[in-house]
């Protein structure tokens, strides 16, 4: 049985199977294998307990694409996510899975232009992926009709609970078709989620994927704090200090993949690239070279790398920070397979630290800070490797031509000086420290950044308002559209809270809440001092 036949056994349409092949999926994950056939039956609600990083989006996205009627123009499915980042990611993933299907899928979230959302909704949409706050906003405006939807999918239900969105979720459910099918995904099943299921999903099938350690203990996880301009230099140092580097390098965009690959090849590395613009035949050739180790560095986007099954990678390098915990888990799960040790390295800029900590918390893992290898150690390592290779040559038979030549040279020259000249001639380019650019110490940079360019804001909401750290961050992001990674040092007290953000983000927040506040004093103001 070929690997693609495993998907065929699940009951998906030929159109869906073609899209799967183009995506590069090689076999279904456990949650996909269990969920897809049940969802395609379309006769029961589903509660699925599965962790982040198990392929949940494709588990509901693939059958959903087959179940949607392309001829209709009204909304047939609503997918709810706790954050706008996840809404964007889910919408992009389903769009990449639809193949030739004429489906319109849009993300709807706070911070995005509501006028643009209204225009897209008026043109007709099949699947809406949204955050609770903005979906409720559209319901209130009567610009989103959910009375006739056939499918409601709740993703990351336990995160909805943690962020205080369960009441919003219930409010949305009141406006949906009573005969719809509901699919609820949750990594855990706290009592509040069970009560919700009991109330709104009386008849359902429960699916559970055996809990597994998402990030293998065989995978060492570290991060380097570097400037964007220093990332390529850091990458080359990692490759050079390893004795037998064999790894995947993940970039966010196709252009980044092409740029990094071209620069690696120019520096003499055996590298190649895969992304969405590369044909299937070229993709297969590249993967064949990588699996046979004719190249040892493969640069890829997340989507293009889906389905790659290589068991003996030494490294996964997150050249760009993953957009969400699921993408991080997918990426680093490629190391530590089949009992092999592996290292996952993530590059972050100082402003991305909060997002990395969010990924660490959700993925329930430990990502330790480390320093980029220094040039002295790299040169020392290279010299050691060259010495070992020369030692191994002693066991090989030497042609008489070279034996005689060597004896002739040593008759009139000092052996040590002659060997030194030969080593210099052969390895000078590899051992020259000048090939490496300078990288500023992250400890120096971090100290400066922590003291400069930040503003402390006072928020007139606290625990008495049922505010939590996550709910406060999401509230601000939903309304102001700032990057959540720029929000730092969130402290929630009984009657108020404090946050720290960059100067530009602070101005955006203050301007929004000054404009929208109907109070004597805006909800958010500059703090006089840190408590």
The pairing of beta strand 454-459 with beta strand 497-502: antiparallel
Q: What is the pLDDT of residue 259?
A: 94
* Same CATH fold assignment for domains 5-208 and 219-372: yes
How big is the CA angle at 239 (ends 238 and 242), to the nearest 5 degrees?
A: 85
Q: Which of 486, 488, 499, 487 is nearest to 460 (CA)?
A: 499
Alpha carbon distance 329, 331 (integer Å)? 5
Contact of 12 with 39, CB cutoff 8 Å: no
The pairing of beta strand 219-225 with beta strand 247-250: unpaired
Q: Could you report the per-residue pLDDT of 275-321, keeping only the tens digit for each?
A: 878 887 888 899 889 989 999 999 998 767 765 767 688 999 999 98
Query: 């269990």: which residue's tokens?
Result: 34
Domain 5-208: give its CATH architecture. 3-Layer(aba) Sandwich (3.40)
The model carries a pTM of 0.54
More confidently predicted of 211 and 83: 83
**For residue 44, what are its two tokens?**
């029961």
pLDDT band at 4 (very low <50, low <70, confident <90, very high): very low
Alpha carbon distance 393, 123 (integer Å)? 71
Answer whether residue 197 shows pLDDT above 90: no
More confidently predicted of 22 and 142: 142
- Out of 329-333, 364-368, 495-499, least confident range: 329-333
Answer whether residue 152 shows pLDDT above 90: yes
Q: What is the pLDDT of residue 340?
A: 64
- pLDDT, mean over the chain: 84
More confidently predicted of 409 and 183: 183
More confidently predicted of 362 and 87: 87
- What are the structural domain ranges in the chain? 5-208, 219-372, 376-435, 453-526
Mean pLDDT of 523-530: 71
Backbone phi, then psi, for 257, in 5-degree steps?
-60, -50
Q: What is the pLDDT of residue 450?
A: 45
Mean pLDDT of 105-115: 87
Q: Could you report the per-residue pLDDT of 430-476, keeping only the tens digit for each?
A: 888 888 877 765 544 444 444 345 778 889 888 888 888 888 988 89
pLDDT band at 425 (very low <50, low <70, confident <90, very high): confident
Q: What is the pLDDT of residue 189?
A: 85
Domain 219-372 homologous superfamily, CATH: P-loop containing nucleotide triphosphate hydrolases (3.40.50.300)
Q: Domain 453-526 - what CATH class?
A: alpha beta
Contact of 319 with 235, CB cutoff 8 Å: yes
């Amino acid at each position: 049985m070929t690997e693609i036949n495993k998907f065929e056994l699940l009951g998906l349409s030929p159109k869906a199977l073609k899209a799967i092949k183009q995506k590069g999926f090689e076999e279904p994950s456990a949650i996909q294998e269990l969920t897809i056939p049940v969802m395609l039956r379309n006769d029961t609600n589903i509660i699925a307990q599965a962790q982040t990083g198990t392929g949940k989006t494709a588990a509901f996205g693939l059958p959903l694409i087959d179940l949607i009627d392309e001829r209709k123009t009204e909304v047939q499915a609503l997918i709810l996510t706790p954050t706008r980042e996840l809404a964007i990611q889910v919408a992009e993933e389903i769009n990449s899975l639809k193949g030739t299907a004429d489906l319109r899928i849009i993300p709807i979230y706070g911070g995005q232009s509501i006028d643009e959302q209204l225009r897209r909704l008026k043109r007709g949409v099949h699947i809406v992926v949204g955050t609770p706050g903005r979906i409720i906003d559209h319901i209130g405006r009567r610009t989103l009709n959910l009375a006739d939807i056939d499918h409601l999918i709740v993703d990351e239900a336990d995160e909805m609970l943690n962020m205080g969105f369960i009441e919003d979720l219930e409010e949305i459910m009141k406006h949906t078709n009573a005969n719809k099918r509901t699919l609820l995904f949750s990594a855990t099943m706290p009592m509040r989620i069970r009560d919700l299921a009991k109330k709104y999903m009386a008849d359902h099938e429960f699916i559970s994927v055996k809990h597994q350690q998402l990030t293998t203990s065989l995978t060492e996880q570290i991060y380097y704090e570097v400037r964007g301009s220093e990332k390529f230099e850091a990458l080359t140092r990692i490759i050079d200090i390893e004795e037998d580097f064999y790894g995947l390098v993940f970039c966010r965009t196709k252009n980044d993949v092409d740029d990094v690959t071209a620069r690696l090849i120019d520096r003499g590395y055996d590298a190649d690239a895969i992304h969405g613009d590369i044909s299937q035949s070229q993709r297969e050739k590249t993967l064949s070279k990588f699996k046979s180790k004719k190249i040892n560095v493969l640069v890829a986007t997340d989507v293009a790398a889906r389905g790659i099954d290589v068991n003996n990678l030494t490294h996964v390098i997150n050249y760009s920070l993953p957009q969400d915990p699921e993408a991080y888990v997918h990426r680093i799960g490629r190391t530590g397979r089949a009992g092999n040790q592996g290292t996952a390295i993530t590059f972050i800029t100082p402003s991305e630290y909060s997002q990395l900590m969010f990924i660490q918390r959700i993925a329930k893992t430990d990502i330790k800070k480390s320093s980029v290898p220094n040039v002295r150690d790299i040169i020392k390592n290279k010299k050691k490797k060259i010495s070992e290779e020369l030692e191994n040559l002693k066991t090989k038979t030497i042609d008489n031509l070279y034996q005689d030549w060597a004896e002739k040279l040593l008759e009139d020259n000092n052996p040590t000086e002659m060997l030194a000249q030969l080593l210099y001639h052969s390895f000078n380019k590899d051992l020259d420290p000048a090939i490496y650019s300078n990288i500023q110490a992250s400890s120096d940079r971090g100290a400066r950044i922590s003291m400069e360019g930040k503003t402390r804001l006072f928020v007139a909401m606290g625990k008495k308002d049922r505010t939590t750290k996550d709910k406060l961050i999401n509230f601000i992001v939903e309304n102001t559209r700032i990057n959540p990674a720029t929000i730092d040092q969130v402290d929630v007290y009984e009657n108020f809270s404090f946050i720290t953000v960059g100067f530009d983000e602070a101005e955006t927040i203050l301007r929004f809440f000054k404009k929208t506040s109907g109070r004597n004093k805006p909800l958010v103001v500059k703090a006089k001092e840190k408590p």
